[in-house]
Amino acid sequence: MSSKDKILSAIKESKPASTALPVIDISAVISFDDLKAQFKKVLETIGGVCIESVGKGEMEKIVAAELSYVQNGVNTLGAYDEGLPLISAEDLASVDLAVISGTVAVAENGAIWVSETQMVNRILPFIAQQLIIVIEKKDIVTTMHHAYQKIDVAETGFGAFIAGPSKTADIEQSLVIGAHGPAGLKVIIY
């Protein structure tokens, strides 16, 4: 028997008994009195803007007003229900503002899950100069653990958590906003 075999045999013989992973109620560790207020606070800390709306009608008016300020805006709200036409690469290159809906927002870190069906085109939320994500108040959860319980990637395919505008501080440790994605993110909660 080689030295290697002796070592592997000794490891196998002294292997500890398997134990189950502990079950931790994350809610007992992390909780917030007001999920919307916590989400807003974190989002604004990371450079985003939060707009609160009293209902769907007001949210739609806010979106229409935001789109009226830009030359090339794309509104995908309801697109997966109505069948928005495919957006060409040329059109994507000049998108000033994209409006998409989110599935779930996370109070702990300000992130919002957006699935491929909500994006309509995978690159849209990352190539637009400005991004608006619309989320319902009922879809704000406490932590990423809670968010993952609500997401079914097998059903929707590709998706991404988006938190704040694009930023980097890699070069000379100078913060650059919009370096590799939108320069601004607004979240409308209704």
Q: Does residue 13 sit within a domain?
A: no
Please identify which residue in the block is written with the tokens 């309509």: 120
Q: Are strands 159-162 and 112-115 parallel, antiparallel or unpaired?
A: antiparallel
Q: Does residue 155 sit within a domain?
A: yes
Residues facing 39 on adjacent strands: none
pLDDT, mean of residues 106-127: 92
Q: How many domains does the chain have?
A: 1
Q: Does residue 153 sit within a domain?
A: yes
pLDDT in tens, 66-114: 999 999 999 998 765 555 566 777 788 889 999 999 999 999 999 999 9
pLDDT in tens, 139-184: 999 999 999 999 988 887 889 999 988 888 777 778 777 778 888 9
Domain that holds residue 65: 32-189
Q: Does residue 14 sit within a domain?
A: no
Q: Does residue 27 sit within a domain?
A: no
Q: Does residue 12 sit within a domain?
A: no
Residue 131: per-residue pLDDT: 96
Q: Does residue 26 sit within a domain?
A: no
Q: How far is CA 39 from the centre of its chain?
A: 12
User: Angle at the Cα of 169 (from 160 to 121), degrees rounded to 5?
Assistant: 25
pLDDT in tens, 4-38: 998 998 888 888 888 888 887 777 788 899 999 99
* CATH number of the structural domain spanning residue 122: 3.40.50.10420
Neighbours of 76 (CB within 10 A): 22
Q: Does residue 44 sit within a domain?
A: yes
Structural contact between residues 112 and 102, judged by C-beta atoms closer than 8 angstroms: yes
pLDDT, mean of residues 56-75: 93
Output the average pLDDT for the chain. 88
Residue 83: per-residue pLDDT: 56
Residue 188: per-residue pLDDT: 97
